[in-house]
Amino acid sequence: MPDYKQVKLIAIYMYISELYEPELQYTCQRFSNNSFPEFTDVELMTVYLFVLTEQEYFKLKQIHRFTKEYLLDWFPELPSYQGFVNRINRMSETFKLLSMVLFTCFVPEDCDRKISLTDSLPIVTCKGKNKKGKVARDVVDKGYCSTKDMYYYGLKLHLLAFRRPGTIPFPEFIGLTAASENDLTAFKELYGDSIYDRVIFGDRIFSDQSYFQSKLIEQNIEMLTPIKLVKGETECIRQREKAYRNLYGASVSKVRQPVESFFNWLNEKTEIQDAQKVRSTNGLAVHVFGKIAAAFIYLIF
């Protein structure tokens, strides 16, 4: 393995080690005779994050195989593939906390904390109009993605991110809902009461004037979206307002477009959108939060 990769492997291991004792260990504590496994949780997370980011192997079988073939001198207590999968699937809350730490501690200086962008990304466990998803049915359901004209079973990854002029935004909040959840409803439930003094750019689904008028008064939140057609509006008024609405909508969409670039980057680095090989609820949570953590470990190191 090249020296620069060895340095990166050590850096990731040291970073996870520093977080594990004060924070991460409390999300994966064990109360059994195997409370201190020979292949530690820090080693487990290091292997997952390093191989995913550096080798771009996105499946657990690929990650385990690469570790066994090329990193066994570093991790001689690597368990069997089945043991590796069982262990990693118990780490969903740990990867979730790690993601939150990364968002909090590494906010770029060029983030505009007064302007945010919001959107959602489908996480697909099964796709097709007539297909019935059989995995993680306690958290997923059927939804429709209009941008891809796709029916699917799965989740929605909801993002609220700080705008960064000239580049992709940086996450402030990330949340998950079932695929059928309306983006506006998710916004209200996930972070509608947690943010203040903000201008937010979203798509037409966020065009709820009464809700955001109250938020403007209570929390100084202003939501800017392309203008929706008004029900019952005459054709004369529509034609008269058409040029203004098109220009305004194009301006909002131009500011909001980087959030789509963020999702494209995240999917390119981790294949987070494709969860069709996942076989359990815990596995789905690791698929999402583990890959989010890996993407930002990639940026940091």
Q: What is the per-residue pLDDT for 299?
A: 83
Structural domain boundaries in the chain: 3-90, 111-278
| Rounded distance between C-alpha atoms, residue 189 and residue 169, angstroms | 22
Return the residue matching tokens 């037409």.
Answer: 204
CATH of domain 111-278: 3.30.420
- Token pair 């504590």: residue: 29
**Position 18, amino acid:** E
Mean pLDDT, residues 182-210 taken together: 93
Provide, rounded to the nearest whole percent, the portion of the chain with pLDDT above 90. Answer: 71
- pTM value is 0.90
Return the pLDDT at 13. Answer: 96
**Is the per-residue pLDDT at 290 higher than 70?**
yes
Structure confidence at residue 233 (pLDDT) = 67
Digit-coded pLDDT (tens) for 238-269: 777 777 778 888 889 899 999 999 999 999 99
Q: What is the pLDDT of residue 230?
A: 65
Q: What value does the mean pLDDT of the chain take?
A: 90
- Who has greater pLDDT, 240 or 56? 56
Contact 238, 229 (CB under 8 A): yes
DSSP secondary structure code for residue 37 in this structure = -
Query: Does 31 have pLDDT greater than 60?
Result: no
Give pLDDT tens digits for 198-244: 999 999 999 898 999 999 999 999 999 998 766 766 667 677 777 77
Name the pLDDT band for 93 (thresholds 50, 70, 90): very high
- Of 22-36, 47-61, 131-145, least confident by mean pLDDT is 22-36
Task: For the chain, give the percent of residues with pLDDT over 70.
Answer: 94
pLDDT at 163: 96
For residue 82, which amino acid is it? Q
The tens digit of pLDDT for each residue in 139-179 reads 899 999 888 888 999 999 999 999 999 999 999 999 999 99
109-128 in b/e form (b: 16+ CB < 10 A) is eebeeebbbbbbbbbbbbbe
Predicted local distance difference test score (pLDDT) of residue 114: 96
Question: Which carries the bigger pLDDT value, residue 16 or residue 237?
Answer: 16
Can you tell me the distance from the alpha carbon of 10 to that of 248, in angstroms, rounded to the nearest whole number? 50
Q: What is the 3-state secondary structure (H, E, C) of 150-204?
A: EEEEEEEEEEEEEECCCCCCEEEEEEEEECCCCHHHHHHHHCCCCCCCEEEECCH
pLDDT confidence bin for 29, thresholds 50/70/90: low
Average pLDDT for residues 271-298, to the nearest whole number?
A: 93
Find the mean pLDDT for residues 72-101: 94
Q: What are the distances in angstroms from CA 217 to CA 166, 196, 272?
A: 31, 11, 37
